[in-house]
Each structure stands twice: as structure tokens, then as C-alpha cells.
Structure 1
Amino acid sequence: MSARRKLVGLAGVAVVAGGVAVAATWTPPNERRTPVAAGDRLEGELVGAGASSQQAAMQGWLASYSAVQPDVRVSYDPVGSGGGREQFLAGGVDFAGSDAALDEEELAEARERCGDAGVFELPNYIAPIAVVFQVPGVDELQLSPETLAGIFSGAITRWDDPAVVGDNPGTALPDLRISPVHRSDESGTTENFTAYLAETAGAAWPYEPEGEWPLPGGEAAQGNSGVVAAVAGGEGTIGYADLSQAGDLGVAAVRVGDTYVGPTAEAAAAVVAGSPRREGRGPADLAIELDRGTAEGYPIVLVSYHIGCVEYADQQTADLVRSFLGHVISEEGQEAAAEVAGSAPISDELREQARPVVDSIRARS
């Protein structure tokens, strides 16, 4: 009996291992279940890990799923996108949450774990990445891509720098050092943030999009919550985090064309709606190629995926993954996440694409 499928005697919703969980009872791992149908009562444990951006949304999903399947325990550890992908590829968790799709090397590893049926990547969480700040006397802030790139590259070091002042006419900016905060862990939020800078800031950001922060030095913090805490605890600080975790911090508007746009779920959804699907991937892989450079909505967005195997080694895991993700993509599941995290529900078109993928999740014969 594996340690992570041992008997659990909890009820309701609980916080576990830095994540969240829904209670369940134990089903022996060698019990072969018939395929799950609508209305079937399931039992067992499902284990996931990954993007900290999904943490608030996961609370909504798990709370609403517990009403449908009260005897299923789903735990999720928000270790970061990179950590979630690593654990999934190594076989340590049943599914991963990630703010970045698998790269070519990871796709090859996924085929080794999942077999010929391959891997699924479902874009189930859409949210803006907020530029959060803590500057005395400044409640509103506007930043162009070039200015934002200069701040995070270290080229702009003071809040009263002419570039910042030029973006904020009429705002009294202090003579104060800028203290940027970035993620210390490998992060899909970082990859999306640096992709935005690479696509929009020109020569001011000469770095490729990376899940790991591309510059040495500077203040770093673990996870979205760590960045928010570091910004909140400092003075003259600025960072980037999922909007759902921004709390009471100031949130900057960024320049899009001739206007400045603040982060909203609707603006993030507009960018995703105008972006194509990535080419050359399997039929169960719905990864999106975000088009931030020509976006009319808020361009610093992330699409967070749920990643797993189309075929699992046992029927119980396949049933549980199919049941849980079926709830996640449903209108009820998406509304539950939006209420907690302020995320943008996936479109009906995305749901129609995801439904046959979820329905195809099965056990190896």
C-alpha cells in the first residue's frame, strides 16, 4: 500500500501540506472499478501539486466538488509550476497544475510516464498577473512595458526616475529606491511575466521567457504568496503575482497602445480568446500560444493547465481524475473558482474542446 493512498478519516475541507483537501475514504488500490458514469458515488484519494496561482481557485473547485463526491479526497500542494511538473513526470502525483505548458523535453518525459496514449494539458484557469507595489503616498500607478522592464532589469532604480514620472503625469512620486521582488522558485507566473516583457518591451528586456528568473541578485520569494508578503513588508517594493493574491497592495495599470489597462478577469479572457492553439501537439493537448503583443485586453495574463495522463495504470485513478476534471471544466466548477479567485471562466468553446479529452481518460487495458 503506497503511503499517499493510506486510509484517511477526515471530513469537510481542510488545509494539508500547504494545500487544500476534500475528505474521502479508502478504496484498495487493486480494486478494479467499472468506468464511472454520471451519478456514480466514488471513493479514494487523488493527489496533485503545482502552480501556486491556482491555490485560491483550487479551494473553490474542491469545496464544490465535495458536494458532488463527498467520499473523494483531493489534495493539492501549491509548490509552484515547475515543482508540480517535476513531481508529475516522476510519478509522484496524479496530476499537475502549471502556469506553463510542457516543453519538448518534458513532453518526451510525459510519454515515458503515460505511455502511447500520451498526456493531456487542459487550460482550466485564466487569470491576470498583477504588478503589485507598495510605495508611500502612491495609490495608483501606470507603467509602460519599457519602464516595467527597466525596473525589473535594474536599469531604473528610483521611483522618481524620469521614465516612471513620464508614465504618471500629475502623480507625486517619492525620491525612493525601487526594490523589485521576483520568484525564487521555477514558476509559470515568472515565465508568463517574462514572456510579456520579451514580447512588448523591445530592447529594454533582452532576455528569453524563462520559468526561472533570468537575472542574478535582487530580492526573491517563494510562490505567489511569498512575493505578495515581501512586497507588503517592504517600502518602495514592486513585484508580480496572480491577481487573486494581491490583497490590499497597489496594483499597476500597464500601457496597451495609447491607454493604460488594469488587470481584470474579463481583460485576461479577451487575450486568451484571441490566441491560437499550439501546433504539433497530441489530440488531448489543448495548450495555447498566448498572443500578448497585439492584445487589446490586459496583456500580462496566464493560462494555468491541469496536466495528466490519458491512460492511468489503475481504473480507480482514471475514474477519479476524469470525475474531478469533469467538475473543474463544468460551468459550476468554473463559477466556484471565479467566486474565490476572481478568475475568468473558460469559454464555452474551450469547454467543448476539453470535454472529449476528459471523457477519454481511462485505465490501461
Structure 2
Amino acid sequence: MNIKRLGRPAVVAVAAALVLSSCAANEGTAPAGDAPTETATALSGTLNAAGASSQGSAQETWTASFQTANPDVTINYDPTGSGAGRESFFAGGAAFAGSDSYLKDEELAGEFAMCAPGTTAVDLPVYISPIAVIFNIEGVTELNLDATTLAQIFKGDITVWNDPAIVALNPDATLPATNITAVHRSDDSGTTKNFADYLNQVAPDVWTEKPADTFPFQTGEGAQGTSGVVSAVTTGVGTIGYADASRAGDLGVAKIKVGDEFVQYTAEAAAAVVAESPMVEGRAANDLAISLNRKTTDPTHYPLVLVSYAIVCTDYADAKVGELVKSYVGFMASDEGQKEAAASAGAAPLSAELQTKVADVIASIK
């Protein structure tokens, strides 16, 4: 198992001692988007990365495949959450960060310890997944929610399961008079930011707070990481939470209202929203941050979706670090890597157009 719960000081210490070596077996290296092969390159060393826990299942698969093809490489991905991953990357404790939210303008204007002086970092989408609204309510197996009601639940305005607003959306269900425990992320989380962005776009009169990695209200119950939210919902009574769909397990999953229908998540429905969303304005051409449009009324779409990024340097201070990042992140975004994430985590593969854009940027990493 190479997904490790390292403390941030430990990550920084390990990364400070990062030693990478590579040699061309055939006088060249594989293209960035290709799956890694020992005949194309011979890599060795340790690569430390940290960030989004949503990527956890996919990272387990990617790590295993990459290390099988490159047995002298060790990949350590620490799923501490998007916020902690970005901080570790800024400080030089991670060679790249996994993040469910792209870099803010003020973050882009800062310095990145791993990057060559005078250069910056970019956001590369590598993982697309629905966010599941998970619940555990005795006697209830199906649940319909619209954005307004969901926002009221997590804001603390609706506090019992048989509230008239929930009953109206679920006329065939027997909803108990149980208190609602709404479980949110206690750590800075890109999943929280995506969840809040959906509510802010679709139910702005209720969810008035600007989307951020930090949950904005002093309500409900906080839990650390995706696994913490899933555990709290599983073991609690009358609980509801939000998590990457790959971690929903056997919990109940609510349908959300899109247009006039209640929609169950699928990878394809989530990918459709991403495909129709524009890039964030004002960014460099090689920064592929996506501005998700969640206001669709098309029931073939699932707007409660996250795009998770690999945040990488365009030019690494240590070229050997850059070479290993280029190879590993290139594998994550490749056809093979995307298929493996789909199989292991139910992720939606990048579209052909987006995959080409990502591969072009990865090919330029130094």
C-alpha cells in the first residue's frame, strides 16, 4: 500500500531528501500520455504527493500499475485533503498536489518551492467524479432532494426528516421524526467547495456563502476526510453527508432534482456537465481549470460533480523530479490510466479533447 498517512512535517522532510534518477534505455523517453513501460524508460526514486482524498481509490490503482511497470519507483500519495495537499506543494513537501479545486488567483501569484525560480504551477484535470449525497435513515431506502432542500438541510434550517419540505419531495416514503445529522468535511476540502458551488449556483437564495474549501456554517457534524464522512454517516442515526461517489458503498444515495426529474448519479451524466463547461477565464493557455456550469435542466446530466486536478510545476527546480512527475501524471491522464480509474473508482474518463489538452501540457513539463 503506497497511499500513506504521513504527517505534513514528515512529508516535507521526506521530500527534502527526494532523490530521483533516470536513464534512457532506448535513448529516449515515452510520450507523456503513454502508459509507462520499462522498455521505454528506466525510472527510479521516490515521488511524494499529497491532496484530495477523492482521488484515493484511483491513486491506489494508478500507483500499483505504475510501480509494476517501474519497479524501482515508489509513489507515496497522502490523501490529506485538497487544502493540505496544496499547502504541502507550496512548501515543497509534495512534488504535485491532488486537488478538487483549482488554484485561486492569489495562490497562482505566490511562489512554489518545487518549481524553478520565476516559473509557476498549472491545474491539470485528471479525475472526474460525481459527488454522492449519502444517507442513513432507518426504514428509508430511496430519497429525493432538490437543491433548495439540500441547502436548507446542510445550513441547519431543516432539522428533522419528516419536515414538510422533504415529505413533499418523497410522497411515497415513510419519513421518521428523527433529527437530521448533516455531516460535512471538517478539513479544507475541494469536495466541500464543489458541493457548496452546486448549492450556491442552483439555490443561491439559501446558500448565500461564497464557495470555499472550508464548510461555512457552524451546523451539523464535521468529519476528517472522505473516509471520516462516510464513517460518520454509516455509524450515525438519521445522517446525511456528501462524498466522492466511489466511496458511497452500501449507503443510501439520494437522487437530486435536475429540471423536472430526480436523477441518480452516473459517471456519464457527470462527464456531460464537464464537457459543456468553459475554461476559467483569465488563465494561461496551459492552465486547464474548468468553470463548472451546474445550472443545467437536462436530466441526462448530473451537476453535482467534481473535477480533481493534478497541480504541477511547468518547470521543476530539480529536473529529475520533473521527469518523474511528468511520467507518473502522464500515466494518470493517459487512456490506460483513465480506464483504470473508471474501473476502480467509477470515475468518468476525460473526453478525448480534454485528454489531448492535458497531454500537450504534460509533454512540456521540464
Aligned partners of 1:161, 1:275: CA distance in 2, in Å?
A: 35
CA contact (8 A) 2:91 2:113 kept: no
What residue number does 2:63 align with? Answer: 62
* Counterparts of 2:224 and 2:3, CA distance in 1: 19
Closer/same/farther in 2, CA of residues 140 and 36 from structure 1, 3 Å limit? farther
Distance, in Å, in 2 between the alignment partners of 1:30 and 1:149 is: 47
RMSD across aligned positions (CA) = 1.9
- Cα deviation, 1:133-156, whole Å, max 9, x if unaligned, reads 000000000001111011111111
Do the aligned residues in 2 keep the contact of 1:244 with 1:342 (CA within 8 Å)?
Answer: yes
TM-score normalised by the chain length of structure 1: 0.90
Q: Is the 8 A contact 1:125 1:304 kept in 2?
A: yes
Aligned-residue offset at 1:96: 0.1
Relative distance call for 1:194 and 1:200 in structure 2 (3 A) is same
Q: Distance in 2 between matches of 1:151 and 1:257?
A: 20
Give the aligned partner of residue 305 of structure 1: 309
AA partner of residue 149 (structure 2): T
Cα distance in structure 1, aligned partners of 2:6 and 2:250: 22
Query: 5+ unaligned residues in a row in structure 1: which ranges?
Result: 1-12, 20-26
- For the 8 Å contact 2:20–2:321, the answer to whether it is kept is no
The 3 A distance-change label for structure 1 pair 335 and 283 is same
Residue 74 to residue 14, structure 1, CA distance change in 2 (3 Å):
closer
Residue 251 (structure 1) shift: 0.3
Query: Does 2:316 match 1:316?
Result: no
- Report the more deviating stretch, 121-130 or 101-110: 101-110
Q: Which residue of 2 aligns with 1:7?
A: none
User: How far 1:279 sits from its partner (Å)?
Assistant: 1.5
Structure 1 segments of 4 or more deviating over 3 A? 27-36, 110-113
| Aligned mates of 2:158, 2:28 — CA distance in 1 | 57
SS where residue 240 of structure 1 aligns?
strand
Distance between the aligned counterparts of 2:329 and 2:28, measured in 1?
A: 13
**1:255 deviation in Å?**
0.3
Distance 1:36 1:93 in 2: 26
Is 1:86 the equivalent of 2:78?
A: no
- Structure 2 matches for 1:33-48, cutoff 5 A? 37-38=29-30, 39-48=40-49
**Contact 1:160–1:173, Cα closer than 8 Å, also in 2:** yes
Aligned counterparts of 1:28 and 1:290: Cα–Cα separation in 2: 36
Residue among 177, 183, 192 paired with 1:190? 192
Local SS of the residue matching 2:77: strand
Question: Is 1:329 aligned with 2:329?
Answer: no
| Partner Cα separation in structure 1 for residue 276 and residue 362 of structure 2 | 24
TM-score after normalising by structure 2: 0.90
Equivalent residue number for residue 357 of structure 2? 353
Aligned mates of 1:58, 1:29 — CA distance in 2:
21
SS in 2 for 1:212: coil
How many residues of Structure 1 are paired with residues of Structure 2 in the alignment?
A: 343
| Distance in 1 of aligned mates of 2:179 and 2:20 | 60
Percent identity of the aligned residues?
A: 51
Q: Report the alpha carbon displacement of residue 132 of structure 1 after superposing the two structures with TM.
A: 0.4
Q: Report if the CA contact (8 A) 2:143-2:254 is conserved.
A: yes
Give the distance between the partners of 1:153 and 1:219, measured in 2 at CA: 12
1:28, CA displacement in angstroms? 8.5
Equivalent positions of 1:198-277 (< 5 A) are 198-277=200-279
Q: Is the 8 A contact 2:22 2:42 kept in 1?
A: no
| CA deviation string 1:38-94 (max 9, x = no partner) | 201111111100000000010111122123222111110000000000010111110
